[in-house]
Amino acid sequence: MTQLILHPGKEKSLLRRHPWIFAGAVERLDGRARAGDTVDVVAGAGRYAGQVLAKAAWSPSSQIRARVWSFAAETIDDAFFKRRVAAAVARRAALPELHGQEGLRLIHAESDGLPGVIADRYGDTVVVQLTSAGADKWRHAIAGALQKATGCARIYERSDSEVRGREGLEPTSGWLVGAAPAGDIVIAEHGVRMKVDIVAGHKTGFYLDQRDNRLLLRQLAAGKRVLNCFCYTGGFSLQALAGGAAEVISIDSSEPALVTGRANLALNAQLEAGRAQWCGANVFDELRRLNEAGERFDLIVLDPPKFAPSASHVERAARAYKDINLNAFRLLAPGGMLMTYSCSGGVSLDVFQRIVAGAALDAGCDARIVRRLQGAADHPVALAFPEGEYLKGLLVQA
């Protein structure tokens, strides 16, 4: 097998079971490998010289030059993917809080030992997103393993994430197993029905990671005036209505997202639609406008897109987070609560908390954290892969 020889000392992160091998760690390739091929990762000169430390997928055009499939002496073949996928599905099955969820993340990439592989289940449809050269090479093994582990009727590939470009991969989408279902895909989340557009929606169609946090909002919403910023298809909005909110204003700049949001509300006849308003706008501008109009809210959600996809964007992202949080604090009624998130990998919880603290200070809002928030249990974070912890949130009370 082709060997990837590391520079001396560059085995350290691998010994800690971190799955990424950066370009700067690679001394040379002994043999030939095409994008996605499996290579043996071998320690350079020093204490571990010549030892095979891992099997990894070669990715010649990415700064992450190889991603580890396994730290053991196992063959990377169809059976390997069957084992890994089955293990990921079994971990969800072992968590009672996930039982009966119609929308569920089955594979969370590196944190489930499958770099570049995302799989989300919506009823009997599974959507996979492959973002690395290695994952791309093994799509049929992964799809077969998913079908075996879940018994799902159909599998759709939605590999159109921009990060594929960095791996030298073209976008690709289509049915890997089965064909499009006759009607819309609809899941129930905490008893609220939500349409999932797996073909044109964001990510694989839905933000499953916020499931627990939507329930928390619902529990806080009774009688409250709620502002949901970056609402997408209304996940938080509908839970707030289900929790008895007096009024919910939802803002997003995406018209298709708002169309689905309204459709979702119509799907849930039990929710009194008259309490909801949908607003197509840029949140940055709309928060200013609401402040100028003297509006006040008891509960505000800020769940923006990734402002800092990587560490190099952190400064600009920090200014953006500061801006929306500052204007949200100004809009809070006395005793109100702000639920604020960052899903930027490049912004740590520490940094995010400091930004939110600065925003409260500048807004003249005396507030305290009552909860730290994170993604749901089907979005685990491998201890060896802290980068997996992208979603962080704070529930702050004025």
Active site residues: 343
Query: Buried b vs exposed e over 309-343: b needs ≥16 C-beta within 10 Å?
Result: beeebbeebbebbbbbbbbbbbbbeeebbbbbbbb
The residues in 119-138 that bind ligand SAH, with binding defined as CB under 6 A, are: none
Contact between 235 and ligand SAH (CB under 6 A)?
Answer: yes
Judged by CB, which is closer to ligand SAH: 30, or 212? 212
Give the burial string for 109-143 (b: 16+ CB within 10 Å, else e).
bbbbbbbbbbbbbbbebbbbbbbbbbbbbbbebbb
The reply to whether 216 sits near ligand SAH by the rule CB under 6 A is no
Residue 163: which residues within 8 A CB-CB, separation 6 or more?
Answer: 131
Selected from 284, 314, 349, 398, the binder of ligand SAH by CB under 6 A is 284
Q: Pick from 66, 104, 241, 283: which binds ligand SAH (CB under 6 A)?
A: 283
Asked if 232 touches ligand SAH (CB under 6 A), the answer is yes
How far apart are CB 288 and ligand SAH at their closest, in Å? 12
Closest CA to 54 of 37, 66, 36: 66
Q: Is 173 helix (H, G, I), strand (E, B) or coil?
A: strand
Residues 346 and 308: their CA atoms lie apart, in Å, by 6
Could you tell me which residues are beta bridge partners of residue 332? 297
Binding mask 345-384 for ligand SAH (x = CB under 6 A): ----------------------------------------
What span, in angstroms and rounded, lies between the C-alpha atoms of 164 and 130? 8
The only residue of 51, 63, 219, 282 in contact with ligand SAH, by rule CB under 6 A: 282
CA 97, distance to chain mean position in Å, is 19
Q: Which is nearer to ligand SAH, 43 or 283 (CB)?
A: 283
Q: Give the residue with the Cβ less far from ligand SAH, 150 or 233.
A: 233
210 binds ligand SAH (CB under 6 A): yes
| DSSP secondary structure letter of residue 7 | P
Closer residue to ligand SAH (CB): 56 or 240: 240
Nearer to ligand SAH, 91 or 288 (CB): 288
Question: Which range touches ligand SAH (CB under 6 A), out of 155-163, 175-183, 269-277, 301-309?
Answer: 301-309
Q: Out of 3, 13, 70, 254, name the contact with ligand SAH by CB under 6 A.
A: 254
Beta strands in the chain (DSSP E): 3-6, 20-22, 26-30, 38-42, 52-58, 64-70, 103-108, 117-122, 125-130, 154-159, 172-177, 185-189, 192-196, 225-229, 247-252, 276-280, 297-302, 332-342, 368-374, 392-397
81 or 206, CB closer to ligand SAH? 206
Binding residue (CB under 6 A) for ligand SAH from 8, 165, 305, 386 = 305
Alpha helices for 243-313 (secondary structure H): 255-267, 283-292
Q: Residue 185 Cβ, how far from ligand SAH at the closest point, in Å?
A: 15
Number of residues interacting with ligand SAH: please give it, by CB under 6 A: 19
Taking the complex as a whole, the smallest distance from the CB of residue 254 to ligand SAH amounts, in Å, to 3
Contact residues toward ligand SAH (CB under 6 A) are: 207, 210, 230-233, 235-236, 251-254, 257, 282-284, 303-305
